[in-house]
Amino acid sequence: MEGRTCRCGHVMDLKTSWTDANPGRRFFVCDQKGDRCRCFVWYDPPICDRSKVVIPDLLRSTRRLEDEISTLQADNRRLAAENIRLQAANTSFESDNITLQAENRRLQAVDEKLRDAKRRQAQNQTSAPGSSRCWIFFCYHFVVRSLVYNGMNVHGNKLTFEGMKCKLRIKVKNGDLYCF
């Protein structure tokens, strides 16, 4: 390719036209900036009429595909950032899950201890009423016998003892002994 000189003396640059009338056709233009001399010379011969139709369609398709690629690349970058964010959240959730599982095991152990304590308490309570009733029965008979020998009066289920400046009343209700 030969270098050309403009009539103003400057070197001419080789450019490519992408207009619909001359797609891909190369030309020389003066490289003078600002106040250009507007010197222009075609380097390539004119293209055929079919190329004038096909090439612009191909260029439009290429631009559309490039735009689609740009959109897909932007979506890919956005999804990659979202993936990183979700992986960080997932790691945090997994850590929380491990902590919660440990807390759940600890609470289950506490719950089991409480159930054992309630079972033992229930067993103690089922045996306690009999023993406390036995104890009450023993105390009742001891007090009654002591009082009978010392001047006790019996009126139904009420016992009254009077002596030595004190008054003791004992009442039995539903197998329980009440003193007042």
Question: Is residue 75 domain-resident?
Answer: no
Domain, as residue range, for 140: 133-179
Confidence at residue 165, expressed as pLDDT on a 0 to 100 scale: 47
- Tokens 């797609």 — which residue? 23
Question: Is residue 4 domain-resident?
Answer: yes
Phi, psi of 139, rounded to the nearest 5 degrees: -65, -40
This prediction's pTM: 0.43
Most confidently modeled range among 12-21, 79-88, 164-173 = 79-88
The more confident residue out of 4 and 121 is 121
Which residue(s) pair with 160 in the sheet?
153, 169
Q: Predicted confidence band at 153 (pLDDT cuts at 50, 70, 90)?
A: low
Question: Is residue 54 domain-resident?
Answer: no
In our burial notation (b when 16+ CB lie closer than 10 A, e otherwise), range 149-167 reads eeebeeeeeebebeeeeee
Domain count, the chain: 2
Question: Is residue 89 domain-resident?
Answer: no
Distance CA 3, CA 13 (A): 8
Q: What is the pLDDT of residues 99-114, one digit of tens each?
A: 999 999 999 999 999 9
Q: Burial of 173 by CB count in 10 Å (0-12 exposed, 13-18 middle, 19+ buried)?
A: exposed
Confidence at residue 164, expressed as pLDDT on a 0 to 100 scale: 44
Q: Token digits for 9?
A: 């003396």
Q: What H or E segment, with its residue span, contains residue 64?
A: helix 49-149
Contact status, residue 3 vs residue 10, Cβ threshold 8 Å = no
Question: Is residue 77 domain-resident?
Answer: no
Q: What is the pLDDT of residues 12-65, one digit of tens each?
A: 889 999 888 888 899 998 877 666 677 888 999 998 889 888 888 998 999 999
Distance CA 129, CA 127 (A): 6
Contact status, residue 175 vs residue 157, Cβ threshold 8 Å = no
Question: Is residue 170 domain-resident?
Answer: yes
Question: Is residue 28 domain-resident?
Answer: yes
Confidence at residue 64, expressed as pLDDT on a 0 to 100 scale: 96
Question: Is residue 140 domain-resident?
Answer: yes
